[in-house]
Amino acid sequence: MQKNGSGQHDSGIAAVVFDWAGTLVDFGCFAPTASIVETFAQRGVTITLAEARGPMGLEKREHIRRLLADPGIASRWKEAAGVDPRAEDASSLYEELEPRLATAVRRHAELVPGARELADELRAWGIGIGSTTGYLRPIMDILTAEAASQGFVADAVLCPSDVPAGRPYPWMCFLNAIKLQAYPPRRLVKIGDTPADIQEGLNAGMWTIGVTLSGNEVGLSRSQLSALTDEEQSVLMQEAEKRLRDAGAHFVTESVGTCRDVLAGIEERIIRGEQPSREKSHGHA
């Protein structure tokens, strides 16, 4: 990546907009999934971690609504509650979920390896650091404080409650661009670990990078990964990569710690005047 004499980019990447859980923090994305599983269990409804991961990336009330709409989960809900899931059940479940999330995000707030170093480098090169999330503001206040204690601070942190609707709508990305004074959209990059992240970035006209190893789509901790063979890890990453590419990711890499070369390649494309197409992926690192 290059900068001009003033230290500010005039034609390359203007800003990078990160997701949080599974991308910047919480390797494997466990705070939301475990909290959701526990919340349903308190109602006598068993859901798996894999089921909880399905709608990941969405605003958490919408996440719960999607789970309740799943035929298998709805059937288990009816068996436990005696009635089909209702609209008000999503709201009451979220109210029960929020205090669990508050505890879980503190427990799973460790930065993904390379996150702080990448942010420091971006800031040194005059590139804005934005972020979006499926968490609402009270949870993000906890998480951003935990991240700051480890040396990571974003220039902008946008929640679904700040805009008309969360992912896959582009509004949080647009508001990041406004706050960071970054324009046009082809000079911005969205990095995330879920299809919803990728769709959010595409809908905002940004370049998109999907992360596999650290994220929801693989869904394992570093210790769980280390117990697998290289072949087993490779299969999981290939499956995660396919889901992110199917969502439209321009590039896929293992984590934010391996994003630098991908970002450098995007910068070259921006300088050449390329637009972030929705029709094709470009590669991986």
174: three-class secondary structure by DSSP: helix
Which amino acid appears at position 5 of this protein? G
Q: Write the Ramachandran bin of 221: left for phi over 0, alpha for psi from -120 to 50, otherwise beta.
A: beta
Which residue out of 3, 10, 19, 242 is catalytically annotated? 19
φ, ψ of residue 226 in degrees (nearest 5): -65, -20
What six digits make up the tokens of 84?
């089909």
To the query of whether residue 3 is one of the catalytic residues in this protein, the response is no
Burial 166-199 (b: 16+ CB within 10 A, else e): bbbbbbbbbbbbeebebeebbbbbbbbbbbbbbb
Q: Pick the catalytic residue: 3, 10, 26, 60?
A: 60
Helices marked H in 70-136:
71-81, 87-107, 115-124
- Sheet strands (E) in the chain: 15-18, 128-131, 188-192, 207-211, 251-253, 283-284
Tokens 């994220």 found at? 215
Question: Is-catalytic flag, 78?
Answer: no
- DSSP reduced 3-state for 89: helix
**Angle subtended by helix axes 87-107 and 137-148, to nearest 10:** 10
Q: Active-site residues: which are they? A: 19, 60
